[in-house]
Structure 1
Amino acid sequence: MSGISRGRYVVRFAESEADVRAAQALRYKAFIQASGAQAGGVRADGIEADDFDEACTHVLVEEAASGRLVCCFRLLTLADGGEINRSYAAQYYELSGLSSFDAPMVEMGRFCVDPACHDPDIPRIAWAALTRFVDDNGVRMLFGCSSFKGTETEAYRDAFALLKERHLGPKRFLPKVKAPNVFRFAQRLRREPDARRAQQGMPPLLRSYLLMGGWVSDHAVVDRDLNTLHVFTGLDVAAIPPARKRLLRAVVG
């Protein structure tokens, strides 16, 4: 991951327990303090952590001059779909449709940017770093959970209607319901989406997936621990438009 930089920022893998704790502290700041959530993995020392952290590769985006951590995410690499039940998402979605996927997969999770930082170069370099990882490891499927803030669905009706209309996953891969509390938007919504309101309500991470050809589950999980609604999100790397691949690879050089 060394050598990836853009503007004021550099990207590297976490190399120590202190690096991982810095990422967990940023996650606490972004997911808990900013939303008022009460996640089960929150500790008294301001750390948001879970059992998946140990198995993941943690990626850090830092200010080059100061070393300040401004963005982080974690990656869980699977040899193929036969390992899909090792994933974080498998706690919430029944993923047997992906079990026959016969190439390397990566789950991206806990993606967050410091709430005080609004520089668009930060998510750009994060995606560029992810592109490098995908290329270097022959990854064919990228997946994860994309979260909407809060657990009330009404504000996101147009966004969910747009997901139903344009972005549902292939039937052979589509996750089945597993979580006890879900919003079955593909079944329940009978409305034409207002495109402007839909885009306003779409989380930035999910917009990025969709621009690259990503797809979503037909239902959202209501996660009261993290005070979010989230949809399973998949991206076949081969489906990414060539122009977008060129843009991402231009950042990594």
Structure 2
Amino acid sequence: MSIMRQGLFSPRNLVRRFTPVMRPGATMANVARPVHLIRTPVKTGETLGRIGTLEVRMARNFKEVKKAQRLRYDVFYEEMSAIADAHTLATRRDADPFDAYCDHLLVVDHASMKRNKLGRLQPAIVGTYRILRQEIADRHGGFYTAGEFDIQSLIDANPGKRFVELGRSCVLKPYRNKKTVELLWHGIWAYVLRHKIDVMLGCASIEGTNPEALAGQLSFLHHNARAPEEWRVRAVEDRYVEMNRLPADAINAKEALRALPPLVKGYLRLGAFIGDGAVVDRQFGTTDVLIIMPVSELNTRYVNYYGADASRYSS
């Protein structure tokens, strides 16, 4: 489950995305993937980029992970419509077993300092992403996304590629702006390069659990961003929700784009594909779609923007 809301992407620009620079069969020849420029894996707590007082880095310890979980609780349960169980209510943290072995990307604000229990001032965590590499997932029972989509079939069909799962993304409401989103993506891009990732995937959420009410958005994604056969993944059978609910000529594209969550639009602008079928997540009050982003298919404009060596916002 992954949610970020706030109008950050214009429908006009996103419509242009559907005549993409690169699609299946294309190459990255004009933007070589220079993984040799960044050899070492991302380290715990390492700074990956800065814009003004904001810094993007990996969590340094479990205390910071707990703060990220509190941020997720504030967004998913307090602001959105997720339903908390007794433990979640008591701790006021959005937590699950995956947190223990995932990497946690953080955006912190050095202009918003808070005292910890020892009285030391520390910058506030204002944004987060949870990242799970394939080799780690394999040692702990698989990816979170596998509970909703049959991603194992895609992994098995690409034995030479390295997958990573992105999830639990959220940003504190006052920070939902271009600067924070760009820092998060700068951090992810640096992570992808350092760990030599070939494919990013994960669930993205549309608020609401009534597929008929979301027919325009789901149908738009089906007709305009559905993954090609070689990258297509289907929702698990017992949770499968049909996305093709309206014919293409019956969709108001502008309205559908306007309604889509900014995070989904952001993924599409980067060059993401959408899986086959959606899944209703009643705990979080959302309908989830699968995002698939092969690194070789990323929009060249964004690769160039963040830097082929992730240097745009490097400190």
Which residue of 1 is the match for residue 142 of structure 2? Answer: 86
Structure 1 gap segments, 5+ residues each: none
Distance 2:196 2:79 in 1: 36
SS of equivalent residue, structure 1 residue 175: coil
Structure 2 gap segments, 5+ residues each: 1-45, 113-122
- Deviation of 1:22 (Å): 0.3
Q: TM-score scaled by structure 1?
A: 0.91
Deviates more, 1:189-198 or 1:48-57: 189-198
SS of equivalent residue, structure 1 residue 251: coil
**Counterpart selection for 1:183 from 241, 247, 257:** 241
Whether contact under 8 Å (2:48, 2:187) holds in the other structure is: no
Whether contact under 8 Å (1:156, 1:201) holds in the other structure is: no
Which residue of 1 is the match for residue 81 of structure 2? Answer: 36
Deviates more, 1:72-81 or 1:14-23: 72-81
Which residue of 2 is the match for residue 10 of structure 1? Answer: 55
Please report the RMSD computed on the Cα atoms of aligned residues, expressed in angstroms. Answer: 2.2
Which residue of 2 is the match for residue 100 of structure 1? Answer: 157
- Residue pairs, 1:1-253, within 5 angstroms: 1-39=46-84, 42-66=88-112, 67-79=123-135, 86-95=142-151, 96-101=153-158, 102-178=160-236, 180-186=238-244, 188-192=245-249, 193-249=251-307, 251-253=312-314
SS of equivalent residue, structure 1 residue 64: strand
SS of equivalent residue, structure 1 residue 90: helix
Distance 2:306 2:297 in 1: 14
SS of equivalent residue, structure 1 residue 143: strand
SS of equivalent residue, structure 1 residue 86: coil
SS of equivalent residue, structure 2 residue 47: coil
Distance 1:112 1:84 in 2: 24
- After superposition, the Cα gap between the structure-2 partners of 1:23 and 1:30, relative to the gap in structure 1 and judged at 3 Å, is same
Distance 2:54 2:207 in 1: 27
- Bigger relative contact order, structure 1 or 2 (CA pairs below 8 A, ≥6 apart): 2
Q: Identify, as 1 or 2, the structure richer in strand.
A: 1
Q: Number of residue pairs matched? A: 252
Please tell me the residue identity of whatever aligns with 1:100: A
Whether contact under 8 Å (1:104, 1:138) holds in the other structure is: yes
Distance 1:120 1:212 in 2: 15
- Which has the larger Rg? 2
- Deviation of 1:167 (Å): 0.7
- Deviation of 1:81 (Å): 10
Distance 1:156 1:72 in 2: 27
SS of equivalent residue, structure 1 residue 4: strand
- After superposition, the Cα gap between the structure-2 partners of 1:106 and 1:97, relative to the gap in structure 1 and judged at 3 Å, is closer
Q: TM-score scaled by structure 2?
A: 0.74
SS of equivalent residue, structure 2 residue 182: helix
Could you tell me the percent identity over the aligned residues? 26
